[in-house]
Chain A
Amino acid sequence: DAKTTQPNSMESNEEEPVHLPCNHSTISGTDYIHWYRQLPSQGPEYVIHGLTSNVNNRMASLAIAEDRKSSTLILHRATLRDAAVYYCILPPYGAGNMLTFGGGTRLMVKP
């Protein structure tokens, strides 16, 4: 499996943009990049995924480097509700769709 590296924690001010980085230098050509988050006392929540092009949805944007060795999850305006652990995951293709959660980045949002 491709390994991912994320900062342990980040802090943001409410209503400001947040850029959450992820390094995945051993990514293979067919690996999709997935982002999940886990709010306190809740189950993981799918955020976004992409392969090569930048992606946008109602929750966030995903910016993927041209060499695909890193990606950035962008929350355009952080709210207190966005305080969570954010996971960057590169699932192995075909392994029963198994998701492997690492330590993720704990995002703290200050009012």
Chain B
Amino acid sequence: EPEVTQTPSHQVTQMGQEVILRCVPISNHLYFYWYRQILGQKVEFLVSFYNNEISEKSEIFDDQFSVERPDGSNFTLKIRSTKLEDSAMYFCASSASGTRAYEQYFGPGTRLTVT
């Protein structure tokens, strides 16, 4: 069964450093997403991406965040200057289009620890 993969599984970085989280969505999916979950809290939507552009973003997704689909398979989330409060699990997801767009398949997550 096809699945979403994410690398690395755990990333430790110092405050102020840039990080790039990587995802390989399911190959025939057209919509891509990033969510995050701070330890013990709810899963929060960050951004959705379709046709090489952002289709929706939340208030969390400020100028420090960016997303890119650099090639036909990868989808990345970049945080330019990490803060302590960026420590969280980051989940990538993908979905097909049309009526199956809300049937999102999530990866295992990247745990980001900012020290």
Contacts and interface: CB of A to CB of B under 8 A. Distances in A.
A44 B91 contact: yes
Interface in A88-102: 91, 95-102
A99 B43 CA distance: 9
Contact of A97 (B91, B104, B107, B108): B104
Nearest to A51: B99
Interface residues of B, number: 27
B109 A43 contact: yes
Contact of A96 (B42, B48, B106, B109): B48
B45 A42 contact: no
A68 interface: no
A99 B56 CA distance: 11
Interface size on A, as a range, is 10 to 19
Interface in B27-42: 31, 33, 35, 42
A32 B99 CA distance: 10
Interface string A27-51: 0000010100010001111100100
Interface in A43-101: 43-46, 49, 91, 95-101
A7 interface: no
A96 B56 contact: yes
Contacts of B58: 98
A97 B42 CA distance: 18
Given A49-B103, A91-B102, A98-B58, 6 more contacts: A43-B107, A44-B43, A95-B56, A96-B47, A97-B56, A97-B102
27 contacts: A32-B102, A34-B103, A42-B109, A43-B89, A43-B91, A43-B93, A43-B108, A44-B35, A44-B93, A45-B106, A46-B104, A91-B102, A96-B47, A96-B48, A96-B57, A97-B31, A97-B33, A97-B48, A97-B55, A97-B56, A98-B58, A99-B35, A99-B45, A100-B45, A101-B43, A101-B44, A103-B42
